[in-house]
Structure 1
C-alpha cells in the first residue's frame, strides 16, 4: 500500500514520461513481433497481422488520449528500425498514430464498452475501430510512399490492401485479447479448470497438424474456435484465434501445408481471408454469448428481487391487511 501511495505521489510530468515510455516499448515490441512474420507478395513486403495497431487501440480505450505520445514514439522506433528517417517515414508514423486515435474517438462516441459484453460492441470494434479507422493508416502510409517514389505504381492497390487488412486484423484479434487481460484477476476462478486444460491441449496439438497438413483442412480449426468461444467467451476465443493465426502465418512463410504450391498473391489472399474469418468468428461469437449470459443473469436477478418483494409484502399477514382496510373505512 505504501508503494502505491508513493507512486501516486510522483510529480505528474514524471508519471507521464514513464507512461509514454511504457506505451512506446509495448508498441515497438509488438511491431518487431509483427515484422518477424512478414511475407513477400509480388515483391512487396506485407504483414498479415500488424499487432501494434491492436496495442495502440487497447491503450487508448483503457487509459485515454494521454497514450498518444507513446504511440507516436513507438511507431517512430519501428519505422527507424527499418529505414533511415525520411519524409516517407514521417508520413507512416503520422498515419499509424492518427488511425488508433480516430478509432478510439469513434468508439467512444457510439458508447463502446471495453468489456465487449454486447454484440453491438463487437460489431463497433470491427466496423469502426478496424475497417474504418485503419483506412487512415493504410491510406496515409501508401500515399506517402507513392508521393516519395518509394512504391511501384503497379503494386499500389496490392500493398494498400495488404496494409489495410493487416492493420485491421491487429485491432480485431489483439485489441480484444488485451482488453480481456486487463480485466483478468489473479487467481482466476477455479471452475472448469479441467475443460480449459483439455481445450488448450487439443488446440496446441490439432492446430499445428491442421496448418501443416498437405490436405487443405484449415476448416477444422473452426470447431475448436467455436468450442472456446461458447465455453469461455473472449478469454477462450481470442487466444485460440491468435494461436491459429500465428501457426497459419508460419506455415505460409515456409510454404508448407495448405499454402504449398501457391503463388505469393494466392498465399497472401488465402492467409488474410483465413485470419479475418478467424478473428471475426471469435470476436462476434464471444460477444453474442457474453450478451446472452448477461441477459440471463439480469433476468434471474430481477426474478429474485421480485420474489423477495413478494415475501416482504406477505410477511405482514392477513391481520396487517385487515387493520389497514379498517383505517381506510
Structure 2
C-alpha cells in the first residue's frame, strides 16, 4: 500500500502574520490609488473618495477582528508615505483604524448581512458604517492636525467635511463592490448577457461624454444608474456608480467639463455631492430590488410547496376512497 504523506498546517502565528501582511498591502494599495486623485481646496489637500476605508470595513465584515493589525499597519504605511511619522501621524493612524472597527461593531449589532439583499442592510451600511463611523476618523484626523498646528483654524471645518465625505464614500462605493466580488460565482448563460454588454458600452461612452461636456449635464448619469440597478441590482448598480464617480473625480482634478470655471471649494462640494448621491442611489435602489426579488422567490417557493402538498393529499385521499369501496363490495 502506498505511503500516506501527511500535510501539516502552517503554525497559527505564521497564518496571522500572512493575513496581516495581505490586509496591510491591500490597504496601502487602495490608499495610493486614492491619493492619485487629490483635490486642493483653499490650500488643503483632500481625496473625494478614500478607498482604504471600504477595504478595511470589508475585511472586518468577512474575516473579523484578526484584520485589525493589518489595517493599522496599512494606515501607518500610507501616512508614512506622506509625512514623517510623529504625533499627528499616530493620531491619524488611530482614527483610521478605530473608525472601521466601530463600523463593523455597529453593523454586526444590527444583524447586517454581507449579501446586502435587504433594504435595512443598505441603510445600515450608509448611515452606520459610513456616515456615523467615519465621524471618528475625520474628527480625529482633522483634530490632530489642528492641535499640532499643521492646520489653520479657519480651514478646520472644510478639511473635516472633505475628510468625512471621502471616508464615507469609500465605504458606500467600495465595500458593496468588494462584498459582491467575494461571493461572485460564474453566472449561467442567459439572454441577459446581451443587455449587460449593451449597458456597459452605453455607460462607458455616455458617462465620459456627459462629464467632460461643457454643458452641465451630470444628471444624465442617473437614468443609466437606475437601469443598471433595476436590471442587475448590486452587480450592475455599484460598478456603474464607481465608474461614474472615478470619471467625475478625474474631470474635477483636471478642472474641465462640468467642473470647469469653478473655484476649488465649489469643485469639491459639487464633486462630493455628485459622488454621494450616486452611491446612495445605487446602493439603496439595488437593495430594494434585491429584497423584492427575494420576497417574490420565497412566495413562489411557498406556493409550489403548497401545491405539491395538496396534490399529495388528494392522491392519498383517492387511494383511501378506492380501498373503502372495494371493502364494501
- In structure 1, the partner of 2:170 is 170
Structure 2 counterpart SS, 1:64: helix
Q: Distance in 2 between matches of 1:139 and 1:85?
A: 19
Report 1:73-222 matches (<5 A): 73-185=73-185, 187-191=186-190, 192-222=192-222
Report 1:29-40 matches (<5 A): 29-40=29-40
- In structure 2, the partner of 1:242 is 242
Structure 2 counterpart SS, 1:40: strand
Q: Distance in 2 between matches of 1:321 and 1:31?
A: 75
Structure 2 counterpart SS, 1:316: helix
Q: Deviations over 1:63-100 (max 9, x none)?
A: 11100000000000000000001100000000000000
Q: Distance in 1 between matches of 2:227 and 2:243?
A: 15
Let me know the Cα RMSD of the aligned residues.
1.4
Structure 1 counterpart SS, 2:115: coil
TM-score (norm 1): 0.95
Structure 1 counterpart SS, 2:45: strand
- In structure 2, the partner of 1:270 is 270
Unmatched 5+ residue regions in structure 2? 1-5, 325-329
Q: Distance in 1 between matches of 2:205 and 2:73?
A: 39
- In structure 2, the partner of 1:288 is 288
Q: Distance in 2 between matches of 1:196 and 1:138?
A: 38
- In structure 1, the partner of 2:17 is 17
Deviation at residue 27 of structure 1 after TM alignment: 0.3
Change (3 A) 1:310 1:257: same
- In structure 2, the partner of 1:64 is 64
Q: Distance in 2 between matches of 1:25 and 1:321?
A: 73
Structure 1 counterpart SS, 2:159: helix
Q: Deviations over 1:171-210 (max 9, x none)?
A: 000000000000102x333221111111111111111001
Aligned residues: 319
The ranges of structure 1 where at least 4 consecutive aligned residues each deviate by more than 6 angstroms after the TM superposition are: none
Q: Deviations over 1:282-305 (max 9, x none)?
A: 000000000000000000000000
Structure 2 counterpart SS, 1:315: helix
Q: Distance in 2 between matches of 1:160 and 1:293?
A: 40
Q: Distance in 1 between matches of 2:151 and 2:322?
A: 89
Deviation at residue 322 of structure 1 after TM alignment: 8.3
Deviation at residue 9 of structure 1 after TM alignment: 1.2
Deviation at residue 247 of structure 1 after TM alignment: 0.3
Deviation at residue 323 of structure 1 after TM alignment: 7.1
Q: Distance in 1 between matches of 2:30 and 2:273?
A: 22
- In structure 1, the partner of 2:327 is none
Q: Distance in 2 between matches of 1:26 and 1:321?
A: 70
- In structure 2, the partner of 1:327 is none
TM-score (norm 2): 0.95
Q: Distance in 1 between matches of 2:305 and 2:228?
A: 33
- In structure 1, the partner of 2:3 is none
